[in-house]
Amino acid sequence: MEVMPFSSFSVTKVPIFRSSALSPSLNYLPQDVCGQKFKLKSRKFSVCAAASGGDSVVTLLDYGAGNVRSVRNAIRYLGFDIKDVQCPEDILNANRLIFPGVGAFAAAMNVLNQKGMAEALCTYIQSDRPFLGICLGLQLLFESSEENGPVKGLGLVPGVVGRFDSSNGFRVPHIGWNALKIESNSGILDDIGGRHVYFVHSYRAMPSNDNKDWISSTCNYGDNFIASIRRGNVHAVQFHPEKSGVVGLSILRRFLQAKHYGVQRPIEREASKLAKRVIACLDVRANDRGDLVVTKGDQYDVREHTKQNEVRNLGKPVELAGQYYKDGADEVSFLNITGFRDFPLGDLPMLQVLRYTSENVFVPLTVGGGIRDFTDGNGRHYTSLEVASEYFRSGADKVSIGSDAVYAAEEYLRTGVKTGKSSLEQISRVYGNQAVVVSIDPRKVYVKNLDDIEFKAVRVKVPGPNGEEYAWYQCTVNGGREGRPIGAYELAKAVEELGAGEILLNCIDCDGQGKGFDIDLIKLISDAVSIPVIASSGAGAVEHFSEVFRETNASAALAAGIFHRKEVRRVISTGTQGSINGSHEVQGCTHLSLPDAALAGALFIGLPLLREPCSPYEY
C-alpha cells in the first residue's frame, strides 16, 4: 500500500520487516516514528514468540494521561485480568494489548516517544499481534493529527486526523450514540447490526483511497469518518466500547476472546445519525446523619416540609445509578449539590460512590459539585485540576463545573482576557473539552421591556405574573442561593470560548415541577452555542422529552424526579440500550421528524422492547 505523504513532512518508505508472514502493507512504514530516521532509542525490538500471561490476561497500555478506569472495569467485568505496561518490553511480550488513548494527541505521542513505547507499539502491531486501540488509540495509528499541530503519529495507517467542521451546524465535540456502517469484515463488530455505540471526540480520521483497506466501519457526523479499522488481528475503534453498554461489552469480549470472529459477512446498513441522549441525574448530598443519599428538590429546596425538615432521601446513589443503567439510561450524572461548601476530596464517600458505580455502569458518568481551588483545614492547597483529576481517577468520564464557571465567565467578560487559569480552562486543556460540562443554574426574571435589561432576554410564551412579555435568565451560584450579574446566554457563550465541551442547562423555576422543560430558555441557549446542550429541569411526562427535542436544538435531556418517583421506570433511551430502530435519531440542527405520539409511545413506562434482545449480548 502506498503511504500518503502529508503536508508537514515528507514520508520516505523504508522496509522494516522481512517476514513473509506479514501482510504486505505492513512491510513498509513512513520513516517517522516507526522508521530509522527519527530514531527514538535505537533498540532492536522483537516480539516474543511465547507471549507472557495466560489466556485470561490482557495487557493495558495506560500512559497515565487520563481516566482509563472504565476500560479496566469493563475488562475485569468480562472476567479478564490486567497487566499494565511498565516498559516497552511489556508491549512486545503481550498476548493481547489494549490501548485506550486519552487526552491530547501531542501529549500522548510525547509520552510514547519518551518512554520508547512508540517503537515497541509499531513493532507489535506490524507483527499482527492482537491489538485494540480505543479513541485516541485509533487516531495515534495515523500519520499525523491537526490537534494542536500538525503532530506526527505512529504512521501505521495513511491519513491525517482532523477536527470536525462545526461551521455547517454540527456541534463539536461529537458526543453521543450512533449506529455504524460496516464496511468490511470487522470481526469484533460482527454482531453489532443497527445497535448504537458511544462516541465522544472532536477529531476524526477520514476515509481515503490510501486507507480504505484498513477501514472496517464508518460513521457520519457532517462528514463520513472512520469509526473503526481492522487488519488481521489489529483493531482500533473511534468510539468507546467500554461506555457503550451491553453492545460495547460484547465488542470488547469478541476482541478478548478472539476466537469467534472473522466468518460472518457484514450486514449492509447505513450509519445512523446522532441520537438524542436521555440522562438520569442523581443529586447527591449528605443527609443530617452524614449518609450520602440521593435527594431531589423542588426549585432546589431539598428539605421535606415536615417538623424535622430533613433532607429528602430517595435512595442510595450506587444502587440507583446501577438501576438506571440497567433501565437504559444513555448517561448517568451525579451532582454533589453541597460541593460548593464542602471540600469534595474530603467527601470520600462521593469518590467511593464513583468507584463502585463505574464497576458496573458502562455508560458515561458525569460528576459535578465543588470543582474549584480549595485550601483545607491544614493549609494544604488543592487546585481545581487536582479535584477534577481525583474525580476522573475514581471513574468519572466528565466533570461538571457550576459556580466556578460563573466566576470565570464574569472575569472573562469583564477583562476580555483568557487567563488560562480558571478551572474550566485548566481542566479542558488537560483532559480535553469533551470532558468538561458547565452546569448553569439560572432563574427566570420577567421584564416589561427589552430595554430594561442589559442581558439577552427572550419573548416568553407565557407572560409573567404582571403581564411581562420578556424574561432574562439570571445565573446563580452556590446551589441557587446567590444571583450573579450575568445572564445564561452571556454565560453560555463565554464558557464555550473558555473551553466547555457541553452545557448542562438547568432552570430553577422548573426544577422538580414536572410541568415540562423551559423551552424558551433551552431554545435561547441551544441556538447560541455550537457545543451540545443538555436540557434539564421540569420533565414530568414522556411528552416533555419529545417536546424539548422537537422544539429546541438540545442534544440531550436530563431528568431526575420522574425517574426517582418511578413515573417512568424505563429510562427513555434514544441512543443506546433502548434504541428503538434508530427512530429517535436527529442530525445536527434538524428536528426530530418522528410524530409525538410515536416518540411518546416509545418512551412509555416499562416498555419491554426498550432493551435490545439479550442474545447475543448476554453475559
Identify which of 397, 404, 419 has the alpha carbon closest to the alpha carbon of residue 501: 397
Give buried/exposed letters for 223-243 (b at 16+ CB in 10 A, else e). eebbbbbbbbbbbbbbbbbbb
Q: Does 439 bind ligand 1PR (CB under 6 A)?
A: yes
Kindly tell me which of 143 and 283 has the beta carbon lying closer to ligand 1PR. 283
Q: Known binder of ligand: residue 135?
A: yes
Active-site residue, 135 included: yes
Q: Does 472 bind ligand 1PR (CB under 6 A)?
A: no
Q: Does 538 bind ligand 1PR (CB under 6 A)?
A: yes
Q: Which residues contact 333 (CB under 8 A, 6 or more apart)?
A: 279, 280, 281, 282, 365, 366, 367, 368, 400, 504, 558
CA atoms within 13 A on the CB side of 485: 5
Per-residue x/- track, 547-566, ligand 1PR (CB under 6 A): ------------xxxx----
Three-class secondary structure of residue 587 per DSSP: coil
DSSP code, position 606: T
Smallest distance, Å, CB 563 to ligand 1PR? Answer: 8
Classify the C-alpha dihedral 336-342-344-346 as positive or negative. Answer: negative
Q: How many angstroms separate the CA atoms of 270 and 267, rounded?
A: 10
Kindly tell me which of 91 and 424 has the beta carbon lying closer to ligand 1PR. 424
Total residues in contact with ligand 1PR, by rule CB under 6 A: 34
Kindly tell me which of 61 and 405 has the beta carbon lying closer to ligand 1PR. 405
Kindly tell me which of 317 and 479 has the beta carbon lying closer to ligand 1PR. 479
Q: Catalytic pick from 441, 502, 518, 547?
A: 441
Active-site residue, 591 included: no
Smallest distance, Å, CB 412 to ligand 1PR? Answer: 17
Strands 436-440 and 502-505: what pairing?
parallel
Span of 21-29, 85-93, 178-186, 337-345 interacting with ligand 1PR by CB under 6 A: 337-345
Kindly tell me which of 33 and 562 has the beta carbon lying closer to ligand 1PR. 562
Smallest distance, Å, CB 319 to ligand 1PR? Answer: 18
Kindly tell me which of 229 and 510 has the beta carbon lying closer to ligand 1PR. 510
Q: Does 294 bind ligand 1PR (CB under 6 A)?
A: no
Q: Does 317 bind ligand 1PR (CB under 6 A)?
A: no
Q: Which residues contact 306 (CB under 8 A, 6 or more apart)?
A: none
Q: Does 296 bind ligand 1PR (CB under 6 A)?
A: yes
Q: Known binder of ligand: residue 499?
A: no
Active-site residue, 283 included: yes
Q: Known binder of ligand: residue 449?
A: no
Active-site residue, 240 included: yes
Smallest distance, Å, CB 372 to ligand 1PR? Answer: 7
The answer to whether 616 touches 191, Cβ cutoff 8 Å, is yes
Dihedral angle computed from the Cα positions of residues 546, 549, 555 and 559, in that order, rounded to the nearest 10 degrees: -40
Q: Catalytic pick from 201, 235, 240, 584?
A: 240
Q: Which residues contact 406 (CB under 8 A, 6 or more apart)?
A: 440, 475, 476, 477, 484, 486, 491
Q: How many angstroms separate the CA atoms of 118 and 141, rounded?
A: 10
Residue for grid cell 455550537: 530
Instruction: Give whole-number Cα distances, 164 to 173, 222, 290, 591, in Å.
Output: 8, 8, 46, 21
Smallest distance, Å, CB 562 to ligand 1PR? Answer: 6
Among 68, 475, 539, 568, binds ligand 1PR (CB under 6 A): 539
Q: Catalytic pick from 90, 147, 242, 518?
A: 242
Identify which of 576, 579, 548 has the alpha carbon closest to the alpha carbon of residue 562: 548
Smallest distance, Å, CB 299 to ligand 1PR? Answer: 8
Kindly tell me which of 139 and 537 has the beta carbon lying closer to ligand 1PR. 537
Q: How many angstroms separate the CA atoms of 220 and 590, rounded?
A: 15
Among 137, 176, 370, 395, binds ligand 1PR (CB under 6 A): 370
Three-class secondary structure of residue 388 per DSSP: helix
**275 Rama sector, left if φ>0, alpha if ψ -120 to 50, beta otherwise:** beta
Type of residue found at 596: D
Q: Does 512 bind ligand 1PR (CB under 6 A)?
A: yes
Active-site residue, 62 included: no
Which residues make up each annotated binding site for substrate? Answer: 370, 506
* Residues labelled catalytic: 135, 240, 242, 283, 441
Catalog residues that contact ligand 1PR under the rule CB under 6 A: 281, 283, 296-297, 300, 302, 335, 337, 339-340, 368-371, 400-404, 439, 441, 479-480, 506, 511-512, 536-539, 559-562
